[in-house]
A and B are shown apart, each in its own frame.
Chain A
Amino acid sequence: GAVVSQHPSWVICKSGTSVKIECRSLDFQATTMFWYRQFPKQSLMLMATSNEGSKATYEQGVEKDKFLINHASLTLSTLTVTSAHPEDSSFYICSGTSGNNEQFFGPGTRLTVL
């Protein structure tokens, strides 16, 4: 299957700082990318859907000003957690959709906010 990478794989930051996570589709063009959040022993919760060149669509309860999503190209989407707080600590996973609509997932980014 197609490959999606995420960078960094883990990050630790201080409360109040911003953190950017990159999601890249390495061998296909992802017209749509999804961002998920996963808490320990819980399911993946969809945060937002982004189409290349358009504003992201956020799920109910997700603060769009806190979780900034940019999908400027068909191979790159970024998630920026602004003014991070300890409750934002989580595992963030992205996925990209190719022409056949199957989602290909990245390996995830572990964020720890101190």
Chain B
Amino acid sequence: GNSVTQMEGPVTLSEEAFLTINCTYTATGYPSLFWYVQYPGEGLQLLLKATKADDKGSNKGFEATYRKETTSFHLEKGSVQVSDSAVYFCALKGVTGGGNKLTFGTGTQLKVEL
């Protein structure tokens, strides 16, 4: 079945540091890939997505590239801010049935300090 593995947190960075959160997946065919962000006390929000190999999703300075050869969708940001502190979830939506079902990773908590 489908699965998503992402790096465990918490990840603690200083403001303006470079961020990478690793995400790899297992799925048949070409799933769609997503990064969601959850700020304290709020619901998950879609951060970015990519629907086919070599696509790059980007939003708010975050980027992730769909790498079919390495089954990865790592999240990056060149310069993090304190306001980026949140929990980040990698997810996929498969192509073999299942409709809109999402499979999530365990989430990675990011803490950005001054």
A interface residue numbers (CB < 8 A to B): 1, 4, 32, 34, 41-44, 46, 49, 93, 95, 97, 101-108
Main secondary structure of the interface of A (DSSP, over half): strand
In contact, B100 and A101 (Cβ under 8 angstroms) = yes
CB distance from A52 to the nearest CB of B (A): 14
Give the residue name and chain of the B residue nearest to A94 (CB).
B43
Cα A34 to Cα B36 in complex, Å, equals: 16
In the complex, chain B residues whose CB is within 8 Å of the CB of A108: 43
In contact, B100 and A32 (Cβ under 8 angstroms) = yes
In contact, A44 and B43 (Cβ under 8 angstroms) = no
Which among B42, B46, B106 is the interface contact of A102 at CB below 8 angstroms?
Answer: B46
Cα A60 to Cα B35 in complex, Å, equals: 25
B61 at the interface (CB under 8 A from A): no
